[in-house]
């Protein structure tokens, strides 16, 4: 979507203010909580799977704890990488790549023949889970002004809502079926369940409109309107 020729910086500022703390922002917050809850399976699945994996591979508890260590390493490093990705391309791209990483990690872990390969797959799981936490918090902070603190807190709660939902579900599935089938199902679910939310979250956050307004004002004499889809850096450099 491009700016209309008659759009002024004031018009774009009015567009920004019309959505900040609006019902649309609260609906987006609900979607963010749902995505965060889905993606948190990457954090909560490993502790549930430990005894089942230990029995299957015949390894010690110390050895079977390596997957959790790598998952948390992936979560920490992935949080930084996904945050940078979110700054450059938006939260939707980060969520898409995170969902893909979760799918690869869980499906791969369900198929591997050795404990080491199982552990390495959790790097993907940790990176994928990180995309549904930090980037969503950053995105929500751009949609609220008066209620920013509570909005970010609610967005963060999705990870812990997942902590109450996923463990009993995974425990039941692993006990009645098998941990490999459970991991396979979790990977497919993460890859598919986030698709509707990705389409719903495509709208750029309001701060992008403010930057567009500033860019339009600076470039009015030479280039007229510019695309509001440009990232923040290119909008500032064009001034």
Q: How far apart are CA 186 and CA 41, in angstroms?
A: 8
pLDDT of residue 157: 94
- At 96, is the pLDDT very low, low, confident or very high (cuts 50, 70, 90)? very high
**Phi-psi group of 58: left, alpha or beta (phi > 0 → left; psi -120 to 50 → alpha; rest → beta):** left
Structural domains in the chain, CATH included, are 22-204 (1.20.1250.20)
Give yes or no for a contact between 179 and 52, defined as CB atoms under 8 angstroms apart.
yes
Q: How far apart are CA 30 and CA 40, in angstroms?
A: 15
> How confident is the model over 153-166, as a mean pLDDT?
94
- At 203, is the pLDDT very low, low, confident or very high (cuts 50, 70, 90)? confident
pLDDT of residue 206: 65
- At 99, is the pLDDT very low, low, confident or very high (cuts 50, 70, 90)? very high
Q: Kindly report, residue by residue over 50-92, the tens digit of the pLDDT.
A: 999 999 999 988 888 999 999 999 999 999 999 898 888 889 9
pLDDT of residue 209: 46
- At 146, is the pLDDT very low, low, confident or very high (cuts 50, 70, 90)? confident
Q: Kindly report, residue by residue over 25-45, the tens digit of the pLDDT.
A: 899 999 999 999 999 999 999
Better pLDDT: 19 or 98: 98
pLDDT of residue 184: 96
Average pLDDT over the chain, rounded to an integer: 82
Q: Percent of the chain beyond pLDDT 70?
A: 77
> How confident is the model over 144-170, as a mean pLDDT?
93
- Four-residue CA torsion sign, 160, 31, 168, 121: negative
């Amino acid at each position: 979507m491009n700016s209309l020729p008659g759009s002024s910086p004031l018009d774009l500022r009015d567009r920004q203010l019309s959505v900040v703390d609006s019902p649309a922002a609260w609906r987006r917050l609900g979607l963010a909580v749902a995505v965060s809850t889905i993606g948190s399976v990457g954090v909560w699945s490993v502790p549930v799977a430990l005894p089942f994996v230990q029995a299957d591979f015949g390894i010690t508890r110390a050895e079977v704890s390596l997957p959790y260590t790598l998952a948390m390493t992936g979560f920490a490093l992935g949080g930084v990488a996904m945050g940078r990705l979110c700054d450059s391309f938006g939260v939707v791209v980060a969520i898409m790549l995170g969902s893909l990483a979760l799918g690869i990690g869980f499906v791969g872990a369900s198929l591997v023949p050795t404990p080491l390969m199982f552990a390495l797959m959790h790097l993907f799981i940790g990176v994928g889970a990180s995309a549904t936490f930090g980037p969503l918090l950053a995105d929500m902070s751009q949609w609220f002004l008066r209620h920013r603190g509570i909005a970010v807190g609610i967005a963060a709660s999705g990870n812990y809502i997942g902590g109450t939902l996923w463990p009993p579900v995974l425990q039941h599935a692993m006990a009645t079926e098998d941990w490999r089938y459970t991991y396979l199902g979790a990977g497919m679910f993460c890859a598919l369940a986030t698709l509707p939310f990705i389409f719903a979250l495509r709208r750029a956050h309001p701060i992008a409109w403010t930057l567009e307004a500033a860019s339009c004002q600076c470039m009015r004499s030479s280039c007229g309107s510019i695309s509001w889809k440009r990232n923040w850096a290119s909008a500032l450099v064009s001034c």
